[in-house]
Structure 1
């Protein structure tokens, strides 16, 4: 693994707003700072935390590359562009030298390093009338949450990884640091989430982490760990907060007509015309200013066009006739000015997390109730299923359609051990992606996942 020397200097444009009695600083997370700039006062602390969000939303991470690794590995989305090597993800023949792997890996570790700087330096700053204990705790709590999210993404994609918990400026600082097991990687995720929960305010913010955001990620974490009761507990915290989080109707309300920050979102990434999301250019056809290299698969197109299955979620796709041929394109990313949000956690996910956890915990009635909440919002017939296995398959399909163009499908199939059956993968080792070859060359301590070359 290569931890790059950090020399990013970004344009500073500060916007401060205060929310409710919690006085949570609702600052647009688009302003970053070099990781080598000293964090020595209130302003530099705020700027450093905004820098973590900036790295999270970068093209290498949730802005594009990391998401596409999951997109192309599943069966909802296909790559039709000129870089044919990307199709190796869909074919499950990916090699360690695929450039996208190195790009995403480095972007995630850059995010971790920025978080490590905040965790190491901000607690030592002196309190002032404006830089109170609450403000300082908030900033450090956000860093813990973002580090947890980063290690969660690394673990579910590559397995156990090197756990870097202090700031570093180069790969030479990592001598003798071996990969941790996946169990230890997940333990670090949970430890960071617990710490973040202690420090963050119990407020609502859809573009910055709060205690509620921690609860949402904990629900997902516990689902992955097959800790059903804990998944139910943390999902319920958000579902029960109906004054702040609820499903919108129609389905498209959370993304259409330039919507952002709706009650559907628990966490989304905020983009502006200065810091743009490049997804729309990749998704939209030339008639709408894009290249259309990322497209829905015919499998998901057929499901979305079936009103009895998808209902109002058909709004996720549209047909464009090019050279006399019908072509299907996704509608989640469409804003020509690059301001599409990236949706990281929606309340719909919490309903389906709880539905799956209830089913696994043999509470069929409650599971079915949560599943039918999602179906009712989509304006399709509610189900009446008594068999656990059948119900779990119904939840799997609902996840596939509800989050058709969000980064869920591949990871859902892997964690439920369904990827080999559904995607026709022959070899178990393909369920983890290879450690980027470029990182193996640089770091002698970084071991490749088994059977990859």
Structure 2
């Protein structure tokens, strides 16, 4: 549904939200332009609204800005290309006027608006077909999950943000509300996910292309595990409960025996996948690979926007981790200068390689929103934090064994904590996890300030000047200008 205000809606202090026109998630076109009088009256229209809500996962934030603000901003990758705002993220110099912040904020709230519309309208639909097979409750559960996912990403980036939980405002000014506290946002995320758990099935059908495209109990349990680990008053007992619910799910998740199969483009919707964005090409394509892959695979010759760091490459080499390195990083000679690898043309530099096919901006390569290896490593972390170090090491070694590297023999809790953090880095690089991991483990300041990254143009080390204030990104200045009730994060 779109009321007369939704076309120009200013969510949470002035966000201009456009319900992007996307193609099909199922065989139903998403509702993108409809009036309050005719939008939601049948099961088919409820499904169409949900399709529109899922289409939010194909916006730029979920394609690669989540990588910029987790992998590039951390010690995993350098910025490349020619965008000064991405270089600013790399150097930890993000200003409130950085337009990528506004884009991310807007897109995540757009996704929230779509989920809210489903949650507001579907309960009132009179079509009995919605209840014959419990589909109404499933649709609402999926919308609760999607809203939780968007708010989880917002709260990790910005801290407390305005909580907009309905589309019922009579004017845009009603969305000019203060920021909720960080804890209040997390509590809303948890409430949405608990509601989703009560409504979602373990599987929708026997078709993996359906089950991996939609929120299931496995997805809700996985996200709850991540939420309870990430929030300030983390609860590792609950992390363990939700991790085990995923690992022992009737959906039958399991690690692929070959790590490379996860990213070769031929094994999507696999047993390890819990939820992934369903890029199928054409109008529903992933432009991200074109931004990252080398000339031999992209067909162009301009400098790419993300380059694996010396520190990341050394981390693979220190573990003799050939399997994951070869699946994650590709070296190739290029005709441009790179200030960290070789400041001369025709030098070999590394490329982010978890996507393999650019296809002229129309790739079908995907990002995993949630996958089992992440949850297994989170279980190892939880066990270790709870003092069950021997058990944690055994769980960790499932991932190391798959990677064909030596099994950990660590017996000390602090040593194993470092090993697990490094293991997550090698397993999940280019998947938007590193910054959250460093923050959760309290390692951001030490890791970023001890980096020795030499700019070859000056032969001087980069001063990242990481401070506590930079643990959160600034609230976009455009939002503060529009909503006088918003307060900026400290230090910006």
TM over 0.5: yes
Does 1:360 find its partner at 2:385? yes
Q: Distance in 2 between matches of 1:126 and 1:286?
A: 55
- The equivalent residue for 2:32 is 33
Report if aligned partners of 1:6, 1:34 keep a CA contact under 8 Å in 2. no
Report if aligned partners of 1:69, 1:100 keep a CA contact under 8 Å in 2. no
| Matched position secondary structure for 1:308 | coil
| Matched position secondary structure for 1:329 | strand
Does 1:248 find its partner at 2:256? yes
Aligned CA distance change for structure 1 residues 15 and 159 (closer, same or farther; 3 Å): closer
| Matched position secondary structure for 1:411 | helix
Give the unaligned 5+ runs of structure 2: 1-11, 205-210, 336-345, 450-464
Q: Distance in 2 between matches of 1:254 and 1:2?
A: 40
| Matched position secondary structure for 1:271 | coil
Cα deviation 1:390-442 (Å, max 9, x = unaligned)? 00000000011100111000111112211000011442111000000111111
- The equivalent residue for 2:443 is 418
1:282 Cα deviation (Å)?
0.8
| Matched position secondary structure for 1:326 | strand
| Matched position secondary structure for 1:63 | helix
- The equivalent residue for 1:72 is 72
| Aligned partner (choices 342, 353, 372) of residue 347 of structure 1 | 372
Q: Distance in 2 between matches of 1:404 and 1:412?
A: 11
Aligned residues: 438
- The equivalent residue for 1:449 is 489
Q: Distance in 2 between matches of 1:62 and 1:420?
A: 26
Given the two structures, how large is their TM-score scaled by the length of structure 2?
Answer: 0.84
- The equivalent residue for 2:340 is none
Superposition pairs of residues 311-330 of structure 1, within 5 angstroms: 311-323=323-335, 324-330=346-352
Given the two structures, how large is their TM-score scaled by the length of structure 1?
Answer: 0.91
Superposition pairs of residues 253-268 of structure 1, within 5 angstroms: 253-268=261-276
- The equivalent residue for 1:62 is 62
| Matched position secondary structure for 1:359 | helix
Q: More displaced, 215-224 or 311-320?
A: 311-320
1:309 Cα deviation (Å)?
4.1
1:369 Cα deviation (Å)?
0.7
Does 1:227 find its partner at 2:249? no
Q: Distance in 1 between matches of 2:430 and 2:478?
A: 29
1:127 Cα deviation (Å)?
3.9
Does 1:439 find its partner at 2:479? yes
Aligned CA distance change for structure 1 residues 242 and 303 (closer, same or farther; 3 Å): farther
| Matched position secondary structure for 2:178 | coil
Give the unaligned 5+ runs of structure 1: 17-26
CA-based RMSD:
2.1
Q: Distance in 1 between matches of 2:32 and 2:163?
A: 23
Q: Distance in 2 between matches of 1:201 and 1:3?
A: 37
Superposition pairs of residues 39-438 of structure 1, within 5 angstroms: 39-59=40-60, 61-129=61-129, 132=132, 134-167=134-167, 171-175=172-176, 177-203=177-203, 205-225=211-231, 226-241=234-249, 244-273=252-281, 274-289=283-298, 291=302, 292-306=304-318, 308-309=320-321, 311-323=323-335, 324-335=346-357, 336=359, 337-424=362-449, 425-438=465-478
- The equivalent residue for 1:24 is none
- The equivalent residue for 1:19 is none
